[in-house]
């Protein structure tokens, strides 16, 4: 039994033309028993910046609370909204502070910065940031997602195409990953709005 797959869960994010899509499954379990089927792993940090936390859900919740605390302090001091790049640096520092005795969660940041340029990144449990330009995935279904996203992703996708690509990718992942499932929630973030869709997958 690995602590990273105790509660299960997967998060994926893709970048398009002035838009990003971030999606997660809805299952929380205790190893093989499913306990809840309505727990998303994506959370809003600001209107244009979202964070996803896969891995052990207790630590994911603790890290989320610390992120919100630090983001609120940042906004009070700086009197402006936080950018996704800055948020990911902040989370990376938080994780590395616990280098020996880390939080068992892999954060993922997706958002648009001030110029509406898309930014996505993922981290390991001790905060090593990798920010590619196409897609990122974390969680128990990570390997399945990387393969299928490679297939669906293209340059400069518009919001509708990006939503389709992300939704289809996470659906494929839920088909195969036993520790994730019970539907998916997809957030499509553009410069004017955020579209939230809950999609039905194989409910197990």
Partner 1 sequence: MAGMHFLVGISTENYVILAADKATFAYGAILADSENDKEYRLGKKLTMMCIGEEGDVAQFGDWTKRNLQLYSVRNASAHHFVRRSIAEGLRSQDHYTVDVLIGGYDDKEEKAFLGSVDYLANGLAQQPYLFRGFCGRFCYAIMDHEYKKDMSETEGLALMNKCIGEAKRRFVANIPGYKVVIIDKNGYRKLNDVLF
Q: Which residues bind partner 1 (CB under 8 A)?
A: 6-7, 28, 30, 33-36, 39, 56-58, 61-62, 65, 101
Could you list the beta-strand ranges (E) of the chain: 10-15, 19-25, 28-30, 33-36, 42-46, 49-55, 105-112, 118-123, 129-130, 135-139, 184-190, 194-199
Q: Which C-beta is closer to partner 1: that of 127 or that of 159?
A: 127
Residue whose pair of structure tokens reads 């280098």 in the numeric block: 99
| 150/135 Cα distance (integer angstroms) | 8
**Smallest separation (angstroms) from partner 1 to the CB of 2:** 14
We find the least distance from the C-beta atom of residue 56 to partner 1, in angstroms, to be 8
Smallest separation, CB 135 to partner 1 (Å): 28
| C-beta closer to partner 1: residue 43 or 61 | 61
- Nearest distance from C-beta of residue 34 to partner 1, angstroms: 8
Q: Residue 44 or residue 98: which is nearer to partner 1 going by CB?
A: 98
Structure tokens at 125: 């449990």
Output 39 or 166, the one with its CB closest to partner 1. Answer: 39
Q: Sort 31 into a burial class: Cβ within 10 Å, 0-12 / 13-18 / 19+.
A: exposed
Which ranges constitute the DSSP H helices of 98-204? 142-152, 159-176
């Amino acid at each position: 039994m690995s602590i990273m797959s105790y509660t299960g869960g997967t998060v994926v994010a893709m970048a398009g033309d002035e838009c990003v899509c971030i999606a997660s499954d809805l299952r929380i379990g205790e190893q093989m028993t499913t306990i809840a089927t309505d727990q998303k792993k994506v959370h809003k940090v600001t209107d244009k910046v979202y964070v996803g936390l896969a891995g052990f859900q207790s630590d994911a919740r603790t890290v989320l609370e610390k992120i919100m605390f630090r983001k609120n302090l940042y906004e009070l001091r700086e009197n402006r909204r936080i950018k996704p790049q800055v948020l990911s640096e902040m989370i990376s520092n938080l994780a590395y502070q616990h280098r020996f005795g880390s939080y068992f969660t892999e954060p993922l940041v997706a958002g648009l910065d001030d110029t509406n340029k898309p930014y996505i990144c993922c981290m390991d449990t001790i905060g090593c940031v990798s920010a590619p330009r196409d897609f990122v995935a974390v969680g128990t279904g990570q390997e399945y997602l990387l393969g299928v996203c490679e297939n669906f992703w293209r340059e400069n996708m518009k919001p509708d195409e990006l939503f389709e690509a992300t939704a289809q990718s996470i659906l494929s992942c839920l088909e195969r990953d036993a520790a994730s499932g019970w539907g998916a929630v997809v957030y499509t973030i553009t410069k004017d709005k955020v579209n939230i869709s809950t999609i039905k997958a194989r409910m197990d």
